[in-house]
Amino acid sequence: MEDRYSLELKPIGVIHSPFKNTGKAPYQGYKSEEISQIEVFKEFEEGLKDIEGFSHIIVIYWFHKSQGYHLLVKTPWDDSLHGLFTTRSPRRPCPLGLTVAELVVREKNILKVKGLDAIDGTPLLDIKPCIPSTDERLGVKLGWFEGRLGREKS
């Protein structure tokens, strides 16, 4: 089937992070004050023109330490099995990570950001501007997450 061809991606950069392995990354990285450095490879630097004006960016990356997946998963929030696509587990058929990060400062091809939970060495795939009118919704219902956020087990 045409739709099931493999698709090929080449990273546009790499994330340098204080989180050195998966056990160290926070479940909800957006709460973290730690600074990560997104290195955009030099050949893509021109694509960052004017990014300084944006306070938040959407960072898409490859969960490079993730291996395999299960379609039903346990999470830190309860003991039930949940459908993988209702979770943010890094173990997914397409291991794509997504975080909205705060852009603290740009230094040439380096973006220093807060709130990024990717681990050190994570391949960077894309950066998009965060646009609330496009990316945010009112009245969002959270399914099984309802009432559980912030109450994860350690």
Provide, rounded to whole angstroms, the least separation between the CB of residue 138 and a second copy: 9
Is residue 76 within 8 A of residue 153, CB to CB? The reply is yes
Q: Are 124 and 38 in contact (CB under 8 A)?
A: yes
Q: How far is the CB of 154 from a second copy (least distance, A)?
A: 18
Among all chains, which residue has been given the structure tokens 């992070």?
A: 17
Which residue's CB is nearer to a second copy, number 8 or number 23?
Answer: 8
* Of residues 6 and 67, the one with the C-beta less far from a second copy: 6
Contacts of 132 (CB under 8 A, 6+ apart): none
Q: Collapsing DSSP states into helix, strand and coil, what is residue 4?
A: helix
What is the closest distance, in whole angstroms, from the C-beta atom of residue 109 to a second copy in the complex? 11
In Å, what is the CA distance from 105 to each residue of 37, 45, 52? Answer: 10, 15, 7
Smallest separation, CB 6 to a second copy (Å): 5
Q: Closer CB to a second copy, residue 138 or residue 154?
A: 138
| Closer residue to a second copy in complex, CB, 46/107 | 46
